[in-house]
């Protein structure tokens, strides 16, 4: 089974979602929630990870993290393992508590930071567990809104700075921002692993590119930042340019013959013949230059 791709970019933001195995409950009472937060405090301290937001639901949880020198998967490995072991002992059960693969979206700080803050704390409202995020004890909303002291692991001051230099005004602006979209459907994570501007996606794409040929990694993540077929075929008006665009789409960006054919209006067999023609043409050019081609 293919493994998830864990890109480590120091200073980047990661929206992490971890769910119960087979959608089972992972927090059965307040004691479970409290213990999880104590483990979160310990692991963020140990691995020098900043936490900007959190929300513990019934069968999953959300975190917004910024790793330093060590990758975020190191924290997640210990956090999930230690919490699961204690949960099983406390509730006298055995087996996996959490899904093996947590989701980790790389977040564009400039364009998505405030939106993901809102998305995370509105989870209980969207699930109709409460009518206002302040009613949910197990999220960062109350501390960030100034309704209670922030826990030691929560970087509330950095969140406030994103709204206003004055902490009092920042808390007010945060509350108003969260309230501005009670459901906030557009704040949900998009894409396999990256949320942000085209420029940010391109930057992360450079980190992913060396993994394109690694078939042991999940396909959707290997090609998460690839250009669209429309972009790849833009300006390809003559036959040779169109052949070359098909080759690049197939060989470099992982598009299938059927996907390419759907854009150029040709069956997969025809697309493959034209890709071979582009390869043969390029091989001839490189042989003339005494160079090699990677296919």
Residue 222: the pLDDT is 61
Residue 181: the pLDDT is 74
- Could you give the percent of the chain with pLDDT greater than 70? 85
- How many CB atoms within 10 Å of residue 277? 16
Look at residue 291 and tell me whether its pLDDT is greater than 50. no
Residue 40: the pLDDT is 97
Residue 117: the pLDDT is 95
Residue 53: the pLDDT is 98
Look at residue 293 and tell me whether its pLDDT is greater than 90. no
Across 37-41, 230-234, 288-292, the highest mean pLDDT is recorded for 37-41
Residue 186: the pLDDT is 63
Residue 150, classified by CB atoms within 10 Å of its CB into exposed (0-12), middle (13-18) or buried (19+), is: middle
What order of strands is seen across the sheet that includes strand 103-107?
50-56, 60-66, 13-19, 103-107, 194-195
Residue 241: the pLDDT is 87
DSSP assignments along 189-226, one per residue: --SSSEES-HHHHHHHHHHHGGGTT-TTB-HHHHTTTP
Residue 232: the pLDDT is 81
Residue 288: the pLDDT is 46
Q: Is the pTM of this model over 0.85?
A: no
pLDDT band for position 230 (50/70/90)?
Answer: confident
CA distance linking residue 67 with residue 157, whole number of Å: 17
59's tokens: 């069968």
Higher pLDDT, residue 186 or 138: 138
CA distance linking residue 134 with residue 130, whole number of Å: 9
Look at residue 295 and tell me whether its pLDDT is greater than 60. no
Higher pLDDT, residue 217 or 22: 22
Of 46-55, 75-84, 142-151, 222-231, least confident by mean pLDDT is 222-231
- Could you give the percent of the chain with pLDDT greater than 90? 46
Residue 158: the pLDDT is 95
106-130 pLDDT, tens digit per residue, is 888 888 899 999 999 999 999 999 9
Spell out the domains of the chain, with CATH numbers in brackets.
13-187 (3.30.70.1290), 227-295 (no CATH)
Direct distance between the N- and C-terminal alpha carbons of the chain, in angstroms, rounded to an integer: 25
Residue 225: the pLDDT is 58
- Segment 268-292 mean pLDDT: 73
- Segment 196-213 mean pLDDT: 72
Look at residue 91 and tell me whether its pLDDT is greater than 70. yes
Q: What's the mean pLDDT when you consider all of the chain? A: 85
């Amino acid at each position: 089974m293919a493994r998830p791709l864990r890109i480590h970019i120091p200073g980047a933001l990661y929206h992490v979602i971890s769910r119960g195995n087979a959608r089972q409950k992972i927090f059965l009472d307040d004691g479970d929630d409290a213990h999880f937060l104590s483990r979160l405090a310990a692991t963020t301290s140990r691995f020098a990870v900043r936490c900007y937001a959190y929300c513990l639901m019934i069968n999953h949880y959300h975190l917004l993290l910024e790793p330093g020198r060590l990758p975020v998967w190191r924290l997640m490995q210990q956090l999930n393992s230690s919490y699961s072991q204690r949960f099983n002992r406390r509730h006298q059960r055995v087996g996996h508590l959490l899904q093996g693969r947590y989701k980790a979206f790389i977040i564009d700080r400039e364009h998505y930071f405030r939106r993901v803050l809102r998305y995370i704390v509105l989870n209980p409202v969207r699930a109709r567990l409460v009518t206002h995020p302040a009613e949910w004890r197990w999220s960062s909303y109350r501390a960030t809104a100034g309704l209670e002291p922030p826990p030691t692991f929560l970087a509330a001051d950095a969140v406030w700075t994103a709204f206003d230099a004055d902490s009092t005004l920042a808390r007010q602006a945060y509350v108003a921002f969260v309230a501005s979209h009670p459901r906030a459907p557009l704040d949900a994570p998009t894409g396999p692993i990256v949320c942000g501007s085209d420029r940010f996606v391109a930057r992360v794409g450079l980190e992913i590119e060396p993994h394109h040929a690694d078939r042991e990694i999940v396909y959707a993540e290997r090609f998460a930042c690839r250009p669209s077929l429309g972009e790849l075929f833009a300006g390809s008006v003559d036959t040779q340019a169109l052949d070359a665009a098909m080759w690049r789409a197939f060989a470099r960006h992982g598009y299938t013959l059927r996907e390419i054919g759907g854009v150029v209006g040709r069956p997969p067999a025809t697309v493959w013949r034209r890709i071979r023609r582009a390869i043969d043409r390029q091989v001839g050019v490189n042989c003339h230059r005494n160079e090699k081609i990677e296919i």
